[in-house]
Amino acid sequence: MSVSTWSYKILKLLQKMNNFYLPGSCRADCARFELNKVRVGWVHPRVASLLTRHPDVFNLTPGGAVTLSDHLDSYARRSEAVDAVLRTLRREGALSCLQGWREEKYDVMPKYSDPPLMWMERAATSLFGVKQYGVHINGYTVSGNGQVSLWLARRSPNKQTYAGLLDHVAAGGLAAGDGIRQTVVKECLEEACIPVAIAQKARPVGTVSYTYSYHEEVFAESLFVFDLEVPLDFKPRVGDGEVQEFYLLPIDKVKELVATDEFKPNCAMVVLDFLIRHSFIEPDTEPSYQDFVAGLHQTLEGS
C-alpha cells in the first residue's frame, strides 16, 4: 500500500519534531548538561562557550559535560546562580531566545517523578535542552448519532510563538511547584472559561514526547495529554487573551487540517494521538501507523 500525501506530510512533521535523533543533527556536538552527575539536558557548543565564561557558576568537565560549581549544592543556590547568569546574558543580547523572557519558573529534574534539582526561566530551558513538561487538553463532543467533533482554538496574533495557528481548547506548561491536574483545571479556566466542574472530568490518557533542535536550542518536551468530553451545549469563551477564537470542527475536518501548516506543530502531534487512540486511524488502512505511534513517543531519558 503506498503512502498517501496526507500520511507523507504527517511523517515529515514527526521527523521535524524529532530531528535531534536524526543523523547529522547537532546532538553529536552538544555537551551533556549534568546535575549531581546525572544528565538532565544538552547544551549547544556556542551556548556552552558563553556559559563557561562564568566559572563561578558553570564548569566544563574533562569529559565534555557542562556542570555547575560544587558550592551550588542546593535547589535554591543552583537556581539563583544560574538565573543571575541568564539575566546577564539577556542584558548583553547574547542569546536571542532570552528576549522572550517570561518570568515563569520551570523545574529541572532527570525525570518528572524525581525531586527537582533547580528551577530555570522558561525562555532558557531550550538553551540547556532540559525536559519541558506541559498539559494538552483535547476538548471534544459526541453527538446523539455518535459523531465526534473537536474544539480547537486559534492562537492570538500577539502570542510570542506560533501566533495565529490552531491550538487545543486549553494547554500550558507546567510551572515549578504546580501539579498536572491542577494545571489542567487552571488552563481550562483561564484560556477557555471552562468551569472547574467540567474541567475536573478531564481524563489522563498518556503522553506525547519529542526532541528537536533549532539553531542553538534543543527542545526536549513531554506533554501530559487529557481527553475532556464537554456537553453539546457548552461553548468555550476567550479568557486570558491567549486565544482569539474557538471552533468546533468535525473529526474529518480536523484530520485534514492536522497535515497542514495551520496547526502549532506539537498540537498537531497531540491531535494525531487522539485520532489513533479513538480509532479514526487504524493499522489495517494506514501503512504508516507504526511510524506514527513511534514518532509520538520518542524520548532520550537515560541516554
What's phi and psi for 80, nearest 5 deg?
A: -70, -40
Identify the pLDDT of residue 94.
Answer: 87
pLDDT tens digit string along 268-284? 999 999 999 999 999 99
User: Residue 206 — pLDDT band, cuts 50, 70, 90?
Assistant: very high
Determine the pLDDT at residue 303.
44
Mean pLDDT on 212-240 = 94
On average, the pLDDT of the chain sits at: 94
pLDDT of residue 1: 43
Instruction: Supply 269's cell numbers.
Output: 502531534
Q: Are 259 and 265 in contact (CB under 8 A)?
A: no
Q: Could you say which DSSP state residue 193 is in?
A: -
Mean pLDDT of 184-200: 96
pLDDT for residue 300: 58
Edge-first strand order for the sheet with 66-68 is 38-43, 31-35, 66-68, 58-60
Report d(CA 187, CA 199) in Å as an integer: 9
Higher-pLDDT residue of 160 and 180 is: 180
Q: How confident is the model at residue 2 (pLDDT cuts 50, 70, 90)?
A: low
Q: Which residues pair with 33 in a beta bridge?
A: 41, 66
Domains and CATH numbers, the chain: 5-22+131-295 (3.90.79.10), 26-128 (3.30.750.160)
* 15-74: pLDDT as tens digits: 999 999 898 899 999 999 999 999 999 999 999 999 999 999 999 998 889 999 999 999
Percentage of the chain exceeding pLDDT 90 = 87
Position 93 pLDDT exceeds 60: yes
Percent of the chain exceeding pLDDT 70 equals 97
